[in-house]
Structure 1
Amino acid sequence: MTHTRRRSPRFRVLAPSTAAFVLAVSGCSVGGGQPSVPVPTPSPEAAGYCGKLDEALPETVVGLERSDPSPDSELTAGWGDGAIVLRCGVPRPARMDDSQAKAVDADGVNWLLEQREDAGPRFTTTYRKAYVEVTLGTEYAHDITPLSAFAVPVRRTVPDSL
């Protein structure tokens, strides 16, 4: 199946006074509700896996439409204007060295679980040639259901490291 990547709309360049007027009238913040997330800097090998993963990602996750964060990159993806954010090619989390770290299995993909203060959980794949990180909004604090949407794409595009 050929996947055509649809990107979220970006603001057009407007004259400063026009942009200020549009923002004031609409009550919007710059960024249109889509978060800005740091883009990872993986090795060329990992970046290749991440590019394939990006093409295989679903358009919806738990009913949320894909709306990628800024800046535009095949290493990041999002759903529900930041409710779910995926970054591929992140560094190996130091927490993976902790024997007390918690992990979950979602449809055959193992994920390190990190609970963040005042934020939803962060999950990072383990035993893969590229680390894939998924952060979930607080509404998913006790729900790993969104991870199931990533299981097949991760298994097909990011090989095991074992």
Structure 2
Amino acid sequence: MSRRAPLTHPRRTALALGLVALAALTPACADTVAIDPPTPSDDVAAICSAMLDDAPATVAGQDSVRVAPAGSGRAWGSPAIVLRCGVERPASLERTSRCDVVDDVGWFSQKDDERYVFTTIGRQAYVEVAVPRRYDPPAEALSDLAATVAEHDPVVTPCV
């Protein structure tokens, strides 16, 4: 006659604990935005670190959400408005590209069907802000971030 192993078997206990831990982590992961981390030079990294530390708690009425990897940027809302500092110069940015100024910060703008992507112009670091079209018009997000950008990322050449 075969006997069933009791429910307190070490393997079953480990499996049950693993499933409980996974279930506990799942909601936290859902609130985390994956960001492709930029790789800025050391001087730009210092600017970006200070800027990210000083970023506002809300942007365009959206609360801050976690990002992964930590320190790679900041994000707000769902779908997320994402700020990355120390990105590469946009390939399509030319000397004659249009510059949109929002609260004294110049931005190069690009858009697709899902979002707007703004990159600062004329500052020491390139700062990118991606705003999903759900938050139309996107100027509110740029306005909420302008003071932080202006405080931490010095103007090299004004775009206007």
Q: TM-score, normalised by structure 2?
A: 0.78
Structure 1 residue 58 displacement after superposition: 0.7
Structure 1 residue 66 displacement after superposition: 1.0
Secondary structure at 1:66's aligned position in 2?
Answer: strand
Secondary structure at 2:129's aligned position in 1?
Answer: strand
Call closer, same or farther: CA 1:142–1:64 in 2, change over 3 Å: closer
Larger proportion of helix: 2
Are the aligned partners of 1:83 and 1:137 in contact in 2 as well (CA < 8 Å)?
A: yes
Q: Note the aligned Cα RMSD (angstroms).
A: 2.4
User: Corresponding residue for 1:36?
Assistant: 34
Structure 1 residue 114 displacement after superposition: 0.4
Are the aligned partners of 1:34 and 1:82 in contact in 2 as well (CA < 8 Å)?
A: no
How many aligned residue pairs are there?
Answer: 142
Secondary structure at 2:68's aligned position in 1?
Answer: coil
User: Corresponding residue for 1:111?
Assistant: 107
Are the aligned partners of 2:33 and 2:65 in contact in 1 as well (CA < 8 Å)?
A: no
Secondary structure at 1:122's aligned position in 2?
Answer: strand
Are the aligned partners of 2:105 and 2:120 in contact in 1 as well (CA < 8 Å)?
A: yes
Structure 2 unaligned runs (5+)?
1-15
Q: Say which of 112, 135, 141 aligns to 1:146.
A: 141
User: Corresponding residue for 2:46?
Assistant: 48
Secondary structure at 1:86's aligned position in 2?
Answer: strand
User: Corresponding residue for 1:92?
Assistant: 89
Q: Runs of at least 4 residues of structure 1 off by over 6 A?
A: none
Are the aligned partners of 2:67 and 2:74 in contact in 1 as well (CA < 8 Å)?
A: yes
User: Corresponding residue for 2:67?
Assistant: 69
Larger of the two Rg values belongs to structure: 2
Q: TM-score, normalised by structure 1?
A: 0.77
Structure 1 residue 16 displacement after superposition: 4.4
User: Corresponding residue for 2:11?
Assistant: none
For residues 142 and 62 of structure 1, what CA distance do their matches in structure 2 show?
10
Structure 1 residue 82 displacement after superposition: 4.3
Percent identity over the alignment?
31
